[in-house]
Structures are given as structure tokens and as C-alpha cells.
């Protein structure tokens, strides 16, 4: 892990942002002539892969895809290079939050429908552009993002929506073809054909966009499950509750989502442009946002002063909200109960939000606060007796030192886990940043299902955000002849070539089976968290 003060070419590292299976991401800055500074994001290929031609090719392929995309709704690539053996990409820095942060900040409640639809419109604009890009030879690139999730859609504080992370995007000219049985992407946001390992086209991204829009509009995921087996079953059978039942949204949204989330790709929208047209039509019907609507909503959500309130609402205790623990979404209405009436959302125009209205709506502001403020005690008319005179001088209690303002912590582990701060449960990732007192703390990150945990010391500075990119898993890299079936213990990973695969630390048996060559090889390895274990076998001998 690189430290602040280190540099990558002309870029000085400011702080780490995230770590993945094959790379690291940093906030960085570049200083130009006259001391002009440019903030950007730098992504590097891990040193363990720097000499591997296959991973270098995959890394540079992402750079080529980004370089070909110039659109206001897609994060831009500024630079690509290699310095001292380290490959890097320098990309646009978006000052803002991803949609997962937004939903957490909103307390797990639905976003106003006009806001959700505007975000979908902007994201679909970016997808429509990417899906229809052509190469230098005039042939369609047939790009498919394959990893469209709330964490890969950003909203800047100026209201701009940006798509990020085309690292596993599929295109028509790449040699990195989808292999049957190999899944790439995040399971919660995959289409049925993606889960099955079948060939994909742009309609897989539209399914994912439907999932994101449903979650924004209802506060819950359409296909929620604790383990992968029931999740697969729900997605493959199309089993979800209509948004109108969950959150009282108009039935026009149900019809739009039903088409986006159709089990068969041929029953979905034919293109991002077609889905965009229907979303725009619905947005006009419910009351479209003004030009600065997303900006104003973002600032209301993340930056507006919070009015004090005496107690937590029904979704959690004051103590839970103080540390930013995500609150529960409202339970879906029962089949016998009428849907919640839907009302057009406000338009977030500054002139409309009158001071008197803000005071009347103090309880509503509490929904966005993420913390409870203990009300001050009533002033007593009886003054306490004056303290007896002391000859030893003023005491510390008489002149208390001013308390340092708190900071925040943002956790980005390589696997979903429960997060504890100094022994107290904060919540399960993905989490928005949460408040912590300035000083030294201990984070415990634990995934009980996988049996992995890590303890991470963290120093929080006043009014600053400490970012923790923790690694709980090991990484397996298999380099064998194409078409080899790979097992970890009894679990089938798929056919080679495979991407870097996270593996639980500890001893495992790696089994390599190539039927055509008549090979069945078992290899014992012990995996270490944060380390890469390579399996490089010549099965042709």
C-alpha cells in the first residue's frame, strides 16, 4: 500500500480510496506550472501482476475503453503510463458520493421519485452513448458495462451523474471473451443470463439499471436474499414485489420496471435509448426536476444543517443514528393493505423552501440527519450555590478544554462485512462514511459467513475523513491452458482464463481438470489475507 507523500509519475498520492483483486485506487494531485494543482484519481496495477502479460493486457484494455468514451455522464481518462514498473491510469475525480452512500444517508428510505428518475435518465444517457460507440474502423464496439451497481454510479455535489469502473466491460474486439460458467460482476445486480454465464449484450446493463432504479425508488432491492442460492432463484424466476406495493409509487413505474427486469433479454427494452425515452416520459408525468434539482437535493442530503430533535424516529435509537448506522427501510405493505398514496415530490428550488416551512418540517429533516441531538435541559430559575473559595487555583472543570470537532471514517473492504468501531457495531457494508471522535480508534471488520475478520487501527483527524481500504481475503491467480476447469476445494470457479479470484485465507485444495488432455491435478496451497497465490501448471506434459 502506498503512503501519502509517495508519487506515481507526476501524481502525488493524497490518500488510498480502495483496493481490489488486481489494483489499487488513490486520491492524488498533480502540480503544474505556477503551483496550479489538479486533483484526480489514480488507479494502479498491483506489483504482483506487473510482469504478467495477461493482466497487463486487461489493465490496458480498460484504459483503451475509457479513452474511447468522451461523455458528460462517464468518468474521463486523463492519462495512462508506466513508471518504475508500475502501470497507472489517471482519471477524473468526482467530488461527491456514489448512490449507495446516498441511499445510506437517506436512512434506507426511498429517494423522491423525481430524483430517482433524473438519476436514471443521466445514467441511461451515458449507457446509450457507450452502447453505440464505434471503433476507428467504423464497426460497433458493442460495449457492455457488466457491473452497473449503485457504487459505480456517482453523483457530484454539482448534480452531475457519472458512470465509473469499466474494468470488466465487454466489447466486440477484445480477446477477453465471456466463458460459459464464468461470472463477472456483482451478484445482486446481475441479469439472469449473466448469472448463468451466457453471452451478454447491452440488455444486461438495462436489467441492472432497472434494479438500481427500483432500489432508488423503494429503498430496498427487488431480489433480496441472505445467501446466493435463493438470490439466484429469485432472479432466474423474476420474483419480486412491485414498487407500487413497496413504496406507493405510480403503477406506470411498475410497468417500466417490469420491462427492464424481464427474465428474457428479448422481452426487455431493445436499447438504452428506448428505456431512456420511457423514463423521460414518466419523469414529465410526475414532475421533472429543474436544471439544478439534483445539485440542490445532494446538498440538502449531505450538507444542510440538521435541526435538533428530541428522539430518534421509529427506525432506530438515537445512539444508532449518532454513529451513522443505516436505518431500516419501511416494511413492504401487506397484500391486504392499500398502497401508500403517491405524491409528486418537491422540486428543490431555493426560493420555494421558506424558512417557516423548514421550521414546520423539522421532524422530516431528522430523516436525513444520520444522528440524534440530545435536547438541552430546561433552564432552572434556581441558581446553584457559588463554589467555596479555593487556594489551589482554578480547576479543570471550571475551565474545560474545548472539545475537538469529530471526523469521519469511510471503510472500503474487499468483501462485504460487519463493521465495529471500538467494539460497537456500526453496520454492514456497503456503508456511507460515519462520524467518529477525533483520535485513535480500532476497527473490526468481520464476515461470519466466510469466517474472516481483520482488526485495523485508524487515526481520525477533526473534520477530516479517514479512509480504510482493508483486505480480508486472499487472491488466487490461475495460469494454465485455456479451457481448464478450476475447483477450490469442492467449489467450481469456472473455465480458464479466469480473473483474479478472492479466496478465504487458510489451506485449500486447488484442482485443475482438463478433459481433452486427460488431466486431473490436485494442488495444496495455504492462502494469506492480502497476498496473491499463483497456480502456474503446464498440463500439456
C-alpha closest to that of 430 among 451, 409, 411: 411
- Res 477: pLDDT: 87
- Would you say residue 171 has pLDDT above 50? no
Give residue 234's pLDDT: 87
pLDDT in tens, 276-294: 999 999 999 998 788 789 9
**Structural contact between residues 212 and 148, judged by C-beta atoms closer than 8 angstroms:** yes
The cell for 537 is 501448471
Q: CA 296 to CA 130: how far, in whole Å?
A: 28
Q: φ, ψ for residue 393 (rounded to 5)? A: 90, 175
Q: Which residue has the higher pLDDT, 379 or 236?
A: 236
- In order, the DSSP letters of 4-33 are TT-EETTEEEEEEEEE-SSEEEEEEEEE-G
- Is residue 365 predicted with pLDDT exceeding 50? no
Helix (H) or strand (E) holding 398: none
More confident residue, 205 or 315: 205
Residues 302 and 11: their CA atoms lie apart, in Å, by 29
530 vs 94: CA distance, rounded Å: 28
Q: Of the ranges 57-61, 120-124, 498-502, 531-535, which is most confident? A: 120-124
> What distance in Å separates the CA atoms of residue 284 and residue 343, rounded to the nearest whole number?
14
Q: Which residues contact 255 (CB under 8 A, 6 or more apart)?
A: none
For the chain, domains (ranges, CATH) are: 7-92 (3.30.200.20), 96-300 (1.10.510.10), 407-468 (no CATH), 474-536 (no CATH)
Check if 254 is active-site: no
Which ranges of 132-271 does DSSP label H, i.e. alpha helix? 192-195, 203-218, 228-237, 243-247, 251-260
447 pLDDT more than 60: yes
Asked if residue 430 has a cis previous peptide bond (ω within 30° of 0), the answer is yes
Q: Which of 237, 240, 182, 196 is nearest to 215 (CA)?
A: 240
Classify the phi-psi angles of 442: left when phi > 0, otherwise alpha if psi is within -120 to 50, otherwise beta: beta
Write the pLDDT tens digit of every residue in 367-415: 333 333 333 333 333 333 444 444 444 444 455 666 788 999 988 887 7
pLDDT band at 155 (very low <50, low <70, confident <90, very high): very high
Q: SS3 for 454?
A: strand
Which pLDDT score, from 0 to 100, does residue 428 have? 80
Judge whether 307 and 319 are in contact, CB under 8 Å: no
pLDDT tens sequence across 332-359: 333 333 333 333 344 343 332 323 333 2
**3-class DSSP state for residue 457?**
strand
Of 54-63, 174-183, 529-538, minimum mean pLDDT range: 174-183
Strand order in the sheet with 161-163: 96-98, 153-156, 161-163
Give the Cα-Cα-Cα angle 500, 1, 55 (nearest 5 degrees). 30
Query: What b-and-e string marks burial along 440-463, b requiring 16 or more CB atoms within 10 Å of the CB?
Result: ebebbbbbeebebebebebebeee
In this structure, is the dihedral angle defined by the CA atoms of residues 299, 302, 305 and 306, taken in order, positive or negative?
Answer: positive
Residue-level pLDDT at 205: 95
Of the residues 98, 101, 147, 205, only one is catalytic, namely: 147
Q: What is the mean pLDDT of residues 308-314?
A: 30
pLDDT averaged over the chain? Answer: 77
Distance CA 250, CA 238 (A): 20
CA distance 456 to 419: 11
- What CA–CA distances, in Å, run from 310 to 62, 314, 436? 51, 13, 21
Please answer whether residues 405 and 461 qualify as being in contact, where contact means their C-beta atoms are separated by less than 8 angstroms. Answer: no
pLDDT attached to residue 227: 65
pLDDT at 226: 65
Grid coordinates 441472505 are at which residue?
226
- Model's pTM, two decimal places? 0.63
pLDDT tens per residue across span 134-144: 887 888 888 99
The alpha carbon torsion through 10, 91, 79, 137 (nearest 10 deg) reads 180
| Contacts with 465 (C-beta within 8 Å, 6 or more apart), sequence order | 407, 408, 409, 410, 433
By C-alpha distance, which of 404, 406, 432, 437 is closest to 421?
437
- Which grid cell is 301? 442530503
Of 510, 475, 472, 471, nearest to 489 by C-alpha is 510
Amino acid at each position: 500500500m502506498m503512503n501519502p507523500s509517495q508519487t506515481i509519475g507526476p501524481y502525488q498520492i493524497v490518500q488510498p480510496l480502495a483496493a481490489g483483486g488486481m489494483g489499487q485506487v488513490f486520491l492524488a494531485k498533480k502540480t503544474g506550472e505556477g503551483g496550479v494543482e489538479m486533483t484526480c484519481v489514480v488507479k494502479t496495477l498491483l506489483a504482483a501482476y506487473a510482469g504478467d502479460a495477461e493482466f497487463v493486457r486487461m489493465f490496458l484494455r480498460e484504459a483503451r475503453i475509457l479513452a474511447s468514451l468522451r461523455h458528460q455522464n462517464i468518468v474521463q481518462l486523463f492519462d495512462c503510463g508506466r513508471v518504475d514498473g508500475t502501470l497507472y491510469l489517471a482519471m477524473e475525480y468526482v467530488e461527491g458520493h456514489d448512490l449507495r452512500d446516498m441511499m445510506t444517508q437517506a436512512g434506507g428510505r426511498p429517494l423522491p421519485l423525481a430524483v430517482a428518475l433524473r438519476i436514471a435518465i443521466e445514467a441511461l444517457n451515458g449507457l446509450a452513448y457507450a452502447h453505440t460507440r464505434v471503433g476507428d474502423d467504423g464497426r460497433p464496439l458493442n460495449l457492455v458495462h457488466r457491473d452497473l451497481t449503485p457504487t459505480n454510479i456517482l453523483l457530484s455535489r454539482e448534480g452531475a451523474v457519472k458512470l465509473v469502473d469499466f474494468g470488466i466491460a465487454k466489447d466486440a474486439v477484445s480477446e477477453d471473451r465471456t466463458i460459459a460458467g464464468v461470472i463477472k460482476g456483482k451478484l445482486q445486480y446481475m441479469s439472469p443470463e449473466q448469472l448463468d454465464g451466457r453471452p451478454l449484450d447491452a440488455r444486461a446493463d438495462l436489467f441492472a439499471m432497472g434494479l438500481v432504479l427500483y432500489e432508488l425508488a423503494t429503498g430496498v432491492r427487488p431480489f433480496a436474499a441472505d445467501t446466493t442460492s435463493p438470490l439466484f432463484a429469485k432472479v432466474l424466476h423474476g420474483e419480486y414485489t412491485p414498487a407500487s406495493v413497496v413504496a406507493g409509487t405510480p403503477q406506470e413505474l411498475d410497468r417500466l420496471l417490469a420491462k427492464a427486469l424481464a427474465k428474457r433479454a428479448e422481452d426487455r427494452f431493445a436499447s438504452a435509448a428506448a428505456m431512456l425515452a420511457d423514463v423521460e416520459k414518466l419523469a414529465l408525468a410526475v414532475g421533472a426536476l429543474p436544471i439544478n434539482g439534483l445539485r440542490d437535493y445532494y446538498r440538502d442530503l449531505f450538507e444542510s444543517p440538521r435541526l435538533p430533535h428530541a428522539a430518534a424516529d421509529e427506525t432506530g435509537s438515537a445512539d444508532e443514528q449518532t454513529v451513522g448506522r443505516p436505518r431500516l427501510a419501511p416494511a413492504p405493505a401487506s397484500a391486504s393493505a392499500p398502497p401508500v398514496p403517491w405524491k409528486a415530490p418537491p422540486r428543490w428550488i431555493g426560493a420555494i423552501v421558506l424558512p417557516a416551512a423548514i421550521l414546520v418540517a423539522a421532524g422530516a429533516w431528522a430523516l436525513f440527519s444520520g444522528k440524534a441531538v440530545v435536547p438541552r435541559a430546561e433552564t432552572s430559575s434556581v441558581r446553584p450555590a457559588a463554589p467555596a473559595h479555593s487556594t489551589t487555583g482554578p480547576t479543570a472543570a471550571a475551565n474545560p478544554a474545548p472539545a475537538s470537532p469529530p471526523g469521519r471514517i469511510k471503510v472500503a473492504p474487499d468483501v462485504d462485512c460487519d463493521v465495529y468501531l471500538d467494539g460497537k457495531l456500526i453496520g454492514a457494508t456497503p456503508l456511507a462514511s460515519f462520524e467518529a471522535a477525533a483520535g485513535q480508534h480500532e476497527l473490526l471488520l468481520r464476515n461470519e459467513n466466510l469466517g474472516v475478520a481483520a482488526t485495523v487501527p485508524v487515526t481520525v483527524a477533526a473534520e477530516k475523513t479517514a479512509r480504510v481500504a482493508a483486505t480480508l481475503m486472499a487472491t488466487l491467480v490461475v495460469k494454465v491452458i485455456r479451457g481448464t476447469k478450476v475447483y477450490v476445494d469442492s467449489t467450481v470457479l469456472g473455465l480458464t482464463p479466469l480473473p483474479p479470484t478472492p479466496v478465504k485465507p487458510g489451506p485449500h485444495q486447488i484442482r485443475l481438470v482438463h478433459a481433452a488432455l486427460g488431466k486431473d491435478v490436485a494442488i495444496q496451497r495455504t492462502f494469506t489475507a492480502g497476498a496473491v497465490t499463483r497456480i502456474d501448471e503446464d498440463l500439456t506434459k
